[in-house]
């Protein structure tokens, strides 16, 4: 006859302390449920916010400036090459580039087509950071024509206020056909150019010219070769990465909050979910402690019977394994129940709250099942180790 728990059950005092035993089961179930639900919620948050921030190229490009305060407004708050290299070292930043500006005075006009002229700023950045770069966005020394990439937002602003100045509204196509006269003046003289808009940018709010053109004029008109920049553009896989947002905040860098609003939402939600997960782990630990008290009392009350079994030839290892096996079905039932409830809650969330959005699968994530299995293995292992430790003390 095979020896099982039934053979030694009469020798164990398992009828007492039912309250402790059931409290530990309930606590374990609640803890596992909280932990699994937290993991699934964390995954849901990442999937939903990722869909809220689609990327055309697989990367996000965000503009960063140094935060201006009453204390530092009199200082030079521009980025240097050293700042750029330090930013590039961060693991959550793929690349970064300075958005360099003119150090000379620039005045633009459109002749008789649009009868007015205005001071403007022009900037330059690596082509990799510009969303629309046509093949004719180039400039050679001695060339009198200068290609310009104009901000789509600037054109929209012009069309909104053009009526107040009795100026015609312009489409993108018409704007690209207008000849712009650019007068650049510095302490070393003046140069005249004919400019034309070759593309519009939705990413960078500026008037962009080729890098070599801006560098040449800064040197010729103002004698400046190495210049700092007030803005820097970051290339990152996720502009909503909490690590990136924390880094920018710690270094007093300012970023458009609308560009990273989902990241800030994600930070708050992840903090809440992490708190729930931590509370779940705490409940699991307390349940295991309570169950350990129950085992200690059971073995203490069955001490004489267990010593008799050891005297009859039962090995402590066999007794430990046999006694521990009794609770494996309980642990399995608790974990399965927690998985089922988690799946039902997630399905309800996906179907009724999110209205069946395709971004979320109606089924729980495989990571939840892995964690549930891991918790089951840990519970069984801790149970066996505890029983073995108590029996070897007899």
Same domain, 173 and 312: no
Does 291 lie in the same domain as 193? no
Q: Is residue 384 part of a domain?
A: yes
Q: Are residues 67 and 46 in the same domain?
A: no
108 contacts 118 by C-beta, under 8 angstroms? yes
How far is it, in rounded angstroms, from Cα 98 to Cα 230?
8
Mean pLDDT of 91-119: 86
Tell me if residue 20 falls in helix, strand or coil. helix
pLDDT greater than 80 at residue 391: no
Considering the domain boundaries, does residue 254 fall inside one? no
Average pLDDT over residues 41-56: 67
Q: Between 1 and 189, whose confidence is greater? A: 189
pLDDT of residue 234: 92
Q: Do the Cβ atoms of 179 and 111 come closer than 8 Å?
A: yes
> Distance between CA 364 and CA 369 in Å, rounded?
8
Domain that holds residue 28: 5-52+264-392
In terms of domains, do 221 and 309 share one?
Answer: no
Residues 213 and 286 in one domain: no
- Residue 263: the pLDDT is 57
pLDDT in tens, 253-292: 888 665 665 556 666 777 788 888 888 888 888 888 887 7
Judged by phi (left if over 0) then psi (alpha if -120 to 50, else beta), residue 324 lies in alpha
Cα 32 from Cα 38, distance rounded (Å): 10
Q: What is the pLDDT of residue 89?
A: 93
Report the percent of the chain where pLDDT is more than 70: 86
Sequence-distant (≥ 6) Cβ neighbours of residue 269 within 8 angstroms: 41, 45
Q: Show which of 185, 218, 237 is a domain's final residue.
A: 237
Residues 294 and 366 in one domain: yes
More confident residue, 167 or 38: 38
* 328-348 vs 18-51: helix crossing angle, rounded to 10: 30
Domain count, the chain: 2
CA distances from 388 to 125, 156, 304, 328 (A): 68, 76, 17, 15
- Considering the domain architecture, whether residues 224 and 88 belong to the same structural domain is answered as yes
Least confident of 139-143, 179-183, 288-292, 377-381: 288-292
Find the DSSP H helices in the chain.
5-8, 18-51, 81-88, 152-161, 172-176, 211-222, 242-250, 261-301, 303-311, 316-325, 328-348, 366-392
What does the pLDDT look like over 78-92, one tens digit per residue?
A: 888 888 999 999 999
Strand partners, 135: none
Average pLDDT, integer, range 231-248: 85
Instruction: Decide the pairing of beta strands 145-151 and 180-186.
Output: unpaired
Confidence of residue 110 (pLDDT cuts 50, 70, 90): confident
Residue 160 has pLDDT above 70, yes or no: yes
pLDDT at residue 1, as a whole number: 41
The percentage of the chain sitting over the pLDDT mark of 90, rounded to a whole number, equals 27
Is 242 inside a domain boundary? no
Same domain, residue pair 285 and 379: yes
Which residue, of 218, 237, 256, is where some domain finishes? 237
Residue 272 and residue 378 in one domain = yes
Two tokens at 150? 């104009």
Selected residue with higher pLDDT from 211 and 6: 211
- 70 class by beta-carbon count within 10 Å (0-12 exposed, 13-18 middle, 19+ buried): exposed
SS3 call for 145: strand
Q: Is the pTM of this model over 0.75?
A: no
Mean pLDDT of the chain: 82
**What end-to-end distance do the CA atoms of the chain give, in Å?**
27
- The encoded tokens of residue 195 equal 């400019």
Q: What is the pLDDT of residues 288-299, one digit of tens each?
A: 888 778 777 777
- 192 within some domain: yes
pLDDT above 50 for 97:
yes
Q: Residue 248: inside a domain, yes or no? A: no
Q: Looking at the domain assignment, is residue 269 inside a domain?
A: yes
d(C-alpha 149, C-alpha 142), whole Å:
20
Cα separation, 180 vs 109, in Å, equals 6
User: Is residue 259, in this structure, part of any structural domain at all?
Assistant: no
- Burial zone of 226 (CB within 10 Å; 0-12 exposed, 13-18 middle, 19+ buried): exposed
**Residue 199: which of 130, 148, 158 has the closest Cα?**
148
Residue 360 forms part of a structural domain: yes
Q: What is residue 339's predicted lDDT score, i.e. its pLDDT?
A: 93
Q: Is there a single domain that holds both residue 348 and residue 322?
A: yes
Whether residue 10 is predicted with pLDDT greater than 60 in this model: the reply is no
Same domain membership, residue 204 and residue 275: no
Mean pLDDT lowest among 152-161, 230-239, 385-394: 385-394
- 86 lies in the same domain as 192: yes
More confident site: 25 or 270: 25
């Amino acid at each position: 006859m095979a020896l099982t728990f039934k053979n030694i059950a009469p020798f164990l005092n398992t009828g007492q302390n039912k309250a402790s035993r059931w409290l530990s089961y309930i606590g374990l179930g609640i803890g596992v449920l909280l932990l699994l639900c937290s993991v699934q919620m964390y995954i849901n948050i990442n999937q939903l916010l990722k869909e809220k921030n689609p990327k055309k190229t697989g990367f996000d490009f965000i503009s960063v400036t140094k935060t201006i305060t009453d204390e530092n407004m009199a200082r030079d708050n521009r980025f240097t090459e050293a700042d750029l290299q330090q930013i590039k070292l961060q693991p959550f930043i793929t690349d970064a580039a300075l958005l360099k500006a003119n150090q000379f005075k620039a005045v633009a006009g459109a002749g008789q087509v649009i009868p007015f002229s205005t001071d403007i700023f022009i900037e330059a950045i690596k082509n990799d950071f510009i969303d629309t770069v046509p093949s004719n966005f180039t400039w050679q020394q001695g060339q009198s024509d200068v290609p310009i990439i104009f901000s789509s937002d600037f054109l929209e602003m012009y069309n909104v206020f053009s009526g107040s100045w009795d100026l015609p509204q312009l489409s993108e196509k018409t704007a690209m056909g207008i000849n712009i006269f650019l007068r650049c003046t510095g302490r070393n003289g003046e140069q005249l150019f004919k400019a034309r808009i070759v593309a519009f940018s939705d990413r960078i709010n500026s008037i962009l010219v080729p890098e070599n053109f801006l560098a040449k004029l800064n040197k010729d008109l103002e004698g400046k070769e190495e210049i700092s920049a007030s803005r820097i553009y970051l290339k990152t896989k996720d502009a909503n990465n909490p690590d990136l947002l924390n880094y920018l905040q710690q270094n007093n860098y300012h970023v458009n909050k609308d560009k990273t609003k989902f990241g800030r939402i994600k930070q708050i939600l992840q903090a809440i979910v992490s708190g729930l997960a931590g509370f779940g782990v705490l409940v699991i630990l307390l349940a295991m402690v309570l169950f350990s008290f129950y085992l200690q009392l059971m073995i203490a009350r069955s001490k004489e019977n267990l010593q008799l079994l050891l005297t009859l030839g039962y090995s402590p290892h066999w007794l430990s394994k046999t006694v521990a096996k009794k609770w494996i079905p309980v642990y399995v039932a608790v974990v399965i129940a927690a998985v089922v409830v988690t799946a039902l809650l997630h399905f309800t969330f996906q179907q009724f709250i999110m209205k069946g959005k395709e971004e979320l699968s109606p089924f729980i994530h495989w990571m939840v099942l892995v964690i549930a299995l891991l918790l089951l293995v840990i519970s069984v292992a801790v149970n066996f180790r505890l029983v073995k430790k108590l029996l070897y003390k007899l």
